Amino acid sequence: QSRPPAAPPASPPGVDFWAPDWMMRELWGPDRMSKSMHVRMLRHMTFMNYGVPREYEGARSTVVPSPETTVAGGKLYGEHCASCHGRSGLGDGDAGRALSPSPALLAFMVRRPISVDEYLLWSIAEGGKAFDSEMPAFKDKLKPDDIWRIVAYMRAGFPVTEGAAPR
């Protein structure tokens, strides 16, 4: 008689921000994906199946990564994003605690292959209304170069910058 393989040992307690628990659970199958996870996945699935809206197709950053760009992006991120996404991009900002789904874990997401320029511009510019999330649209609040500065800051790893709120 063959026995089923033993379950892997439980992970030690603690938080792994690069592989959060909500991403490690079994997500697929009948009644297994929560509403908040479904909302979180809608933009990703849309991008994978259909790409971005025509106005964002082929978009590329218009700013050159540099210390000055990172500082400017950090200031903009602190003013417009950190209250929900947290200073380190871990979705732990004070305003984000009341949101469902919770704000994206930008520190994790920005390192994934899906985070190409056109996807990030589309996500930030259009916000989450089409996907039933509370992410505000910034296309009428920020200039495209300012959005690219925020993207450059995120890609730099959310460093502490001059003028940014402390962690």
pLDDT tens, 73-118?
999 999 999 999 999 999 999 998 888 888 999 999 999 999 999 9
Mean pLDDT, residues 120-139 taken together: 95
Please give the Cα distance from 55 to 39 (Å, whole number): 23
How confident is the model at residue 36, as a pLDDT? 75
Q: How far is CA 23 from CA 54, 86, 115, 120, 161, in A?
A: 30, 19, 17, 20, 30
Mean pLDDT, residues 140-163 taken together: 92
Residue 39's pLDDT band (cuts 50, 70, 90): confident
Among the residue ranges 37-51, 57-71, 121-135, the one predicted with the least confidence is: 37-51
How confident is the model at residue 1, as a pLDDT? 60
How confident is the model at residue 35, as a pLDDT? 74
Closest by CA position to 110, among listed 96, 99, 124: 124
Helices and strands (H, E) in the chain, number of each type: 7, 0
How confident is the model at residue 47, as a pLDDT? 93
How confident is the model at residue 102, as a pLDDT? 86
Residue-wise burial string across 25-34, b where 16 or more C-beta atoms lie within 10 A, e elsewhere: eeeeeeeebe
Mean pLDDT, residues 48-68 taken together: 95
> For residue 157, what are its two tokens?
């790893």
Q: DSSP per residue over 5-26, as a string?
A: PPPPPPPPSS--TTS-HHHHS-
Closest by CA position to 85, among listed 132, 139, 133, 48: 133
Residue 25's pLDDT band (cuts 50, 70, 90): low
How many residues are present in the chain? 167
pLDDT beyond 80 at 24 = no
Residue 10's pLDDT band (cuts 50, 70, 90): low
Give percent of the chain with pLDDT exceeding 70: 77
